[in-house]
Amino acid sequence: MKRTNRQSTIQLSTSQEDYLKEIFLLSERGEPVTTLALAQKIGVKSASVTDMIKKLVELGLVQRKPYQAIYLTEAGNRVALEILRHHRLLETFLAEKLGYRLDEVHGEAERLEHVISEQFEKAIARMLGHPRRDPHGDPIPTFDLVMPTDTTERTLYSLKKGDRAQITRIMLQDRQSLKHFKTLNLLPGTIITVLDKFEDCMQLSILGQEQKPIKIPLSISEEIMIVPSSLTSGKTQ
């Protein structure tokens, strides 16, 4: 589709926009953006990735030197942020206004993010009260395409026995994981206390919920972002 990206107009396909978004997300997680990584993320063959990256380089949206990682240019970064803003606003709209479950919003937003207009984007942002995070806790880029950051946010894995914190973001967003997190009530806004930490798992209690302590693998605790409870006063979720 024709992507305005607030400053200039570029004719991009849905697939090209998806690539730019995935490059941004891999970079955001601190992972090297390689042909193989993109192929696995998008679900295509490496040769298809190579062809697409060449096209994006020609459009001035991506940079790549031989045998090195792939990077977004400033223009490519803005397109990725605009798509992410659409996606995360749509997820919030679907959850808050249309009653979609947490594990349902991603797929629907994936289909809609490429086609909504800037006018529609502004309208749903205004209706939602200009939210800072989506239902998964992911930050929503501003209208000016700036990604908000929270320097107090860290992984659940980083906590020690006796620490209390508020969950802010769920990084694992496949449907099975989200259903599991919902069952355990490990969702953004939940206050947890670390009862114990072992070599392979953490034992947690949930504030205001009368149930047995829950255990989660340490590998999963690295995919849940938190803010220590002493720092959550006055925060907008």
In the predicted model, what is the mean pLDDT of the chain? 90
**pLDDT confidence of residue 32:** 86
Domain final residue pick, 112, 128, 149: 149
| 223 in a structural domain | yes
- What integer is the mean pLDDT of 172-185? 90
* Among candidate residues 149, 167, 195, the one where a domain is terminated: 149
pLDDT tier for residue 237 given thresholds of 50, 70 and 90: very low
Q: What is the mean pLDDT of residues 57-80?
A: 92
- What CATH number should be reported for the domain holding residue 140? 1.10.10.10
Sign of CA pseudo-dihedral 207, 212, 218, 223: negative
Q: Would 99 be classed as within a structural domain?
A: yes
DSSP H/E element including 147: none
Distances (CA, A) of 154 to 199, 210, 229: 20, 26, 12
Query: What are the residues whose beta carbons fall under 8 Å from the beta carbon of 136, sequence distance 6 or more?
Result: 91, 102, 169, 170, 173, 178, 188
Has this prediction a pTM greater than 0.75?
yes
78, part of any domain: yes
User: Is there a single domain that holds both residue 135 and residue 206?
Assistant: no
Same domain, 136 and 31: yes
Residue ending a domain, choose from 124, 149, 174:
149
What CATH code is carried by the domain that includes residue 180?
2.30.30.90
Give me the domain span that covers residue 116. Answer: 1-149
Residues 74-92: what's their mean pLDDT?
Answer: 96
Q: How many domains does the chain have?
A: 2
Task: Report the residue count for the chain.
Answer: 237
For residues 144 and 163, state if they share a domain: no
Residues 135 and 159 in one domain: no
Whether residues 85 and 197 fall in one domain:
no
Regarding whether 176 and 120 lie in a shared domain, the answer is: no
- Are 144 and 130 in a shared domain? yes
For 189-207, the pLDDT digits (tens) are 999 999 999 999 999 999 8
Mean pLDDT of the region 108-116: 94
Is there a single domain that holds both residue 19 and residue 134? Answer: yes
Query: Is 189 in the same domain as 166?
Result: yes
| Residue 128, domain member (yes or no) | yes
